[in-house]
Amino acid sequence: MMSVTPIPALSDNYIWLLRQDNSPSVCVVDPGEAAPVIEFLERESLNLESILITHHHHDHTGGLAELIKRYSPYVIGPDNSAINGINETVGDGDQIRIMGRLFDVIATPGHTLDHISYFTAGIPALLFCGDTLFCAGCGRLFEGTPEQMYSSLHKLTELPEDTLVFAAHEYTQANLAFARAADPENEHVKHALQECEKARALDRPTLPSTIGRELRINPYLRVGTDSVRQAAGTQGANDNDLATFSTLREWKNRF
């Protein structure tokens, strides 16, 4: 059984730590900082066997150099020379084996062009989607087009509904506040915001989410509904799903 633990880092990042049963060899995803990872590994007497990287941003890679020096992990990530220390570059359709489980690599450009996500089927199915899909939100478009992000998100929604979604940031509360404006008729959003506020008041992570839950509360995945389409229409174009998506993403930037 694989367990996944959040290591909070920087202001609002989670570095996800993957552990198989009681094996001392573990994997981390997107170590934006080394110190909190080292502290966790030391405290639990664990060894860092591998690292998965989703994209080149510093808040996902900033801890690489120090972790490589200390543990010599096997580092897997996208084909981007801006990231130093990758042992194996992977892209869409590739499969990798991490601690006995097979992971599919899914290209998810939009936030950046090099962005990839990692999915493993099974019970439970797990998705590590970096800054592509957040709970009730999606990443900003730094390098890609709205079309790219829209199609990346669509690919992720085709995964099984019970897939656990491990996003890289604790952005849920702000995303749900936006979702309330962008999807005003949606009762699931109101409930989710209440749950989220409770969790944050106790300093608990609001992640993982699930694909099924995101389909209910994430406005970017609900651009075909009247509620979202009409709300988007007060801010910009909503002639088709992509236009609605694009309008939402820009609206969020100034929300």
Minimum CB distance to Fe ion smaller for 58 or for 70 = 58
What is the size of the binding site for Zn ion (CB under 5 A)?
2
Least separation, in Å, of the C-beta of 16 and Zn ion? 15
- CA distances, 80 to each of 13, 55, 68, 85, 178 (Å): 22, 8, 18, 11, 33
Least separation, in Å, of the C-beta of 96 and Fe ion? 22
Minimum CB distance to Zn ion smaller for 60 or for 216 = 60
Should residue 115 be labelled a site residue for Zn ion when binding is judged by CB under 5 A?
no
List the single partner that 222 binds among Zn ion, Fe ion, none, CB under 5 to 8 Å by kind: none
Secondary structure in 3-state letters for the chain: CEEEEEEEECCCEEEEEEEECCCCEEEEECCCCCHHHHHHHHHHCCEEEEEECCCCCHHHHCCHHHHHHHHCCEEEECCCCCCCCCCEECCCCCEEEECCEEEEEEECCCCCCCCEEEEECCCCCEEEEECCEECCEECCCCCCCHHHHHHHHHHHHCCCCCCEEEECECCHHHHHHHHHHHCCCCHHHHHHHHHHHHHHHCCCCCCCEEHHHHHHHCHHHCCCCHHHHHHHHCCCCCCCHHHHHHHHHHHHHCC
Footprint of Fe ion (CB under 5 A): 59, 131
Should residue 19 be labelled a site residue for Zn ion when binding is judged by CB under 5 A?
no
Binding mask 56-85 for Zn ion (x = CB under 5 A): -x----------------------------
Minimum CB distance to Fe ion smaller for 33 or for 59 = 59
List the single partner that 229 binds among Fe ion, Zn ion, none, CB under 5 to 8 Å by kind: none
Minimum CB distance to Zn ion smaller for 2 or for 129 = 129
Should residue 30 be labelled a site residue for Zn ion when binding is judged by CB under 5 A?
no
Minimum CB distance to Zn ion smaller for 116 or for 189 = 116
Should residue 114 be labelled a site residue for Zn ion when binding is judged by CB under 5 A?
no
Binding mask 122-151 for Zn ion (x = CB under 5 A): ---------x--------------------
Least separation, in Å, of the C-beta of 85 and Fe ion? 18
Residues that bind Zn ion (CB under 5 A): 57, 131
